[in-house]
Amino acid sequence: MGVIKKAMTGADAAAEAMRQINPDVVAAYPITPQTPIMHRFAQFVAEGKVKTEFVTVESEHSAMSACVGAATAGGRVMTATSANGLALMFEIVYIAASNRLPIVMNVVNRALSGPINIHCDHSDSMACRDSGWIQLYSENAEEVYENNLIAIKLAERVNMPVMVCQDGFITSHSVESMRVLDDASVRRFIGQYKPKHYLLDVEHPITSGPFDFYDYYFEHKRQQIEAMTKVIPAFYEIVDELGKLMGKHYETVEEYYLADAEFVVVSLNSTAGTVKHTVDELRKQGKRVGALKIRLFRPFPREDIAKYLRGKKAVAVLDRAATFGHVAPLYHEIRSALYEFPDKPRVVSYIYGLGGRDVNLGHITKVFNELESGTAQEENYLGVRDEDEP
Amino acid sequence: MRMNLKQLASKEERFVSGHRLCPGCAAPIIVRLTLKAIKQAVVVATATGCLEVSSTIFPYTSWRVPWIHNAFENAAATISGVEACYRALKRQGKIRKEIKFVAFGGDGGTYDIGLQSLSGALERGHDFLYVCYDNEAYMNTGIQRSSATPMGAWTNTSQVGSAQLGKKEHMKDLTSIVAAHNIPYVAQATPANYLDLMRKVEKGVSIKGPAFINVLSPCPRGWRFPHNKTIKIAQLAVDTCFWPLYEVENGVYKINFDPGKNKKPIREWILSQGRYKHLWKNRGFIREIQEFVDRRWERLKQLSSMG
């Protein structure tokens, strides 16, 4: 009972959370590297370990469409996808958020085509950062598991859909030692889902998804914008409860040796593990370095971020995605969060790891060295060939 | 289904007035007849299109049943999710009531952009009825050709000029495509033959698994005819065998109305609508369309004679 140690991949961790959550409907379509989540979940369905209706649709567009139907009908609904699949469902991703449906979707991050590439970067979920979904990022399999539990509760508390992101292959296909809760604890933690208005309540008919002209659309969008302000307080209530069960402390971001750090590297997902390991190594040499990991990216926890980064000498933001025609997305947002503070540090950008390009201890050490020596440009690449390099 | 007009009028209205569909539009007639034919509780999904934009202008609604609109191409996928959720909640004992599921889509949302979503939902065997109100073009966006537009018809994207006489291609035979999914029930109907339509709806929802009814939906604006002629034109489609009434139940074809010797020439159909105006005196073109209609009618008779 309580907390159980297991060896699992990130994909298995997502499927295990889904088994325990036991959603009413899961609608999904195959795409690498998301597929192992659905393989494992299909096994749970076949063995009768979940009561879920598993709808194996003919496209991701239909996956999200069926999720919208099922969630409006009144069910607890989950799905998973990657890259092009997320891009194909984008139209309905936006509708799901606008209709305030508490759908939870595991996004196994993979580079968007083209050129086609099946490996990890964050171009897929970053392309959805303005879609109205809450986004949680996961450093490892245990965080994938925790984020799924947080996501279900958070989605239903604030009536908003949640993406739980993990790095394709790096996290989804690597076996790690991790901890899970027993089934009964999860059931108690997530509770029963009781929607207020739903389609299958035939005694009280609702019209969902009506035509909304210029006389109401703006007010509805304003409600959606302002509802996002309720997410961070709800997140803290939920993670405090989860923290008691897991014996951990959670924040929207995770600080690592920031109390006395002068130079900081900010990152998302599995790279945060590499950065923390690099901090450990450099600390042994007496360097005052630290790390900040963003766990909740939407809504953007700018107050938490500013609290940790103000007064530092220099900060490097690592982006595994690009914005064509402007600076990289995480960098853009971190810099904006610090803009109003007179004690803001110098903030520089590193684009790294596109299409699954490896990032290692040497790369992160180089970033810290460039921060310390002041040789970092405002915008930098990490681990890419120069034009004259073979 | 045996019922006279008085009895029909006294049945509960589940789709009510106040919507902004055009005078003479067949879609609300089809929707009212469909919902009147269903005795059970019903949840409706509707694809983006004339019906959806005109019946749910916030904060108003014409729907007195639970109703969902998601997007253009996914009415079938959306109702799949609703129906899957119903099965899940029913199995858990959270819902006891019998509920039927109906999706409405126009020809654009069904023949074209929604065909994949429809095909997937049919193959997965969801227990629902899909009703296509086929007005043979993208009317909501301003009369553009769809794959349901018949050959020769003028639309804003199949214009008439010295190099082209309306749409160059014959329409897609969606009813046959749906029948090829080997689902339990497929039918063609029109609002003119309202008892036939209601009987088909009743059958479609009583059978377990997917059912599909393709209903011709005359459009005064797009077809260019006076708005008091909707039902007459729908009847003409049947009498000329342009739109035969038939059903395919568990693979067995049955023609529901055979005009026999009273089969009217396609010329009458063409002359009834301004979208064919450029063809009114074009005997060659009319002959070509007559041959197409005859070919399809003969094939249908063969299929139905196989029993």
Q: List pLDDT tens digits, range A181-207.
A: 999 999 999 999 999 999 999 999 999
* Contact with chain B for residue A47, Cβ under 8 A: no
What is the number of CB-based contacts under 8 A between chain A and chain B? 161
Q: Say which residue, A136 or B5, is predicted with more confidence.
A: A136
Whole-number Å distance between alpha carbons of B98 and B90: 9
Where are the extended beta strands (E) located within A9-91? 25-28, 53-56, 77-81
Shortest Cα distance, chain A CAs vs residue B156, angstroms? 25
Residue B287 has pLDDT above 90, yes or no: yes
Tokens describing residue A351 = 């684009």
Q: How far apart are CA A100 and CA A123, in angstroms?
A: 24
| Rounded average pLDDT over A136-162 | 98
Chain B residue closest in CA terms to A220: B58
Together in a domain, A240 and A265: no
CATH number (domain holding residue A54): 3.40.50.970
Q: How many angstroms separate the Cα of A191 from the Cα of each of A7, A260, B87? A: 27, 41, 21
**Residue B1 reports pLDDT greater than 80:** no
> B116 and A59: CB-CB below 8 Å?
yes
Domain around A196: 3-244
- Three-state secondary structure call for residue A173: coil
Closest-approach residue (CA) in chain A for B114: A62
Asked, for residue A325, whether it belongs to a domain, the answer is yes
Per the domain annotation, does A71 fall within a domain? yes
Whole-number pLDDT of residue B5: 80
What is the enclosing helix (H) or strand (E) of A81? Answer: strand A77-81
Q: What is the average pLDDT score of chain A?
A: 98
| pLDDT attached to residue A353 | 98
> In whole angstroms, what is the distance from residue B19 CA to residue B53 CA?
9
Same domain for A215 and A261: no
- The whole-angstrom distance between A98's CA and the closest CA on chain B is 11
CATH of B5-305, one of 3.30.565.10, 3.40.50.1370, 3.40.50.970, 3.30.2310.20: 3.40.50.970
How close, in Å, is residue B57 to chain A by CA atoms?
Answer: 5
Using CA atoms, how far apart are residues B120 and B176, in angstroms rounded to an integer? Answer: 16
Mean pLDDT (whole number) for A279-297: 98
Do residues A240 and A258 both lie within one domain? no
Judge if the upstream peptide bond of residue B59 is cis by omega within 30 degrees of 0. yes
**Residue that wins the pLDDT comparison between B307 and A347:** A347
Give residue-wise pLDDT tens across range B14-49. Answer: 999 999 999 999 999 999 999 999 999 999 999 999
Distance from CA of A60 to the nearest CA of B (A): 10
pLDDT band at residue A232 using 50, 70 and 90 as cut-offs: very high
Q: From the CB of residue A51, how many other CB atoms can be counted at a distance below 10 Å?
A: 13
Q: Is A144 domain-assigned?
A: yes
Mean pLDDT confidence for B185-189: 98
pLDDT in tens, B61-88: 999 999 999 999 999 999 999 999 999 9
Are residue A220 and residue A264 in the same domain, yes or no? no
Q: What is the DSSP letter of B192?
A: S
- Give which of B82, B116, B122 to mutate to test A binding, by max A Cβ within 10 Å: B82
Tell me which H or E stretch contains A384: none
Q: What separation in angstroms does the CA of B178 have from each of A208, B132, B184, B236?
A: 28, 11, 11, 24
Residue A284: Cβ-neighbour burial (10 angstroms; 0-12, 13-18, 19+): exposed
Q: How large a percentage of chain A has pLDDT more than 70?
A: 100
CA dihedral over A36, A40, A46, A50, signed as positive or negative: negative
Question: For the segment B252-265, what is each residue's pLDDT rounded down to a tens digit?
Answer: 999 999 999 999 99
Across B268-296, average pLDDT: 98
Whether A28 has a pLDDT exceeding 80, the answer reads yes
Q: Is the pLDDT of residue A1 over 70?
A: no
Query: Does residue A390 lie within any of the structural domains?
Result: no
Task: Tell me chain A's radius of gyration from C-alpha atoms.
Answer: 21
Does the beta carbon of A57 lie under 8 angstroms from any beta carbon of chain B?
yes
Question: How far does A202 lie from chain B, in Å, by closest CA?
Answer: 6
Residue A227, pLDDT above cutoff 80: yes
Angle, to 10 degrees, between the axis of helix A217-227 and the axis of helix A90-98? 80
Whether residue B307 is predicted with pLDDT greater than 80 in this model: the reply is: no
pLDDT at B9: 84
Is the dihedral angle over the CA atoms A148, A15, A164, A89 positive or is it negative?
Answer: negative
Per residue in A106-132, pLDDT (tens digit) is 999 999 999 999 999 999 999 999 999
- pLDDT band, very low/low/confident/very high, at B3 (cuts 50, 70, 90): confident
**pLDDT tier at B6 (50, 70, 90 boundaries)?**
confident
Beta strands at B99-106 and A296-298: parallel, antiparallel or unpaired: unpaired
**Residue A26: its chain B contacts at CB < 8 A?**
none
Q: Is residue A313 within 8 Å of residue A260, measured between CB atoms?
A: no
Mean pLDDT of A96-108: 98
Q: CA of B46: which chain A residue's CA is closest?
A: A209
SS3 B174: helix
* Structure-token pair, residue A113: 């085509």
Write the DSSP symbol of residue B171: P
Q: Do A62 and B117 touch (CB under 8 A)?
A: yes
At A25, which helix (H) or strand (E)? Answer: strand A25-28
Q: Does A71 lie at the interface with B, CB-CB under 8 angstroms?
A: yes
pLDDT at residue number B8: 85
Give residue B205's pLDDT band: very low, low, confident or very high (50, 70, 90): very high
**Measured between CB atoms, which of B52, B63, B81 is closest to A69?**
B81
Number of compact structural domains in chain A: 2
Which positions 72-91 of B are in contact with A (Cβ < 8 Å)? Answer: 73-74, 77-89, 91
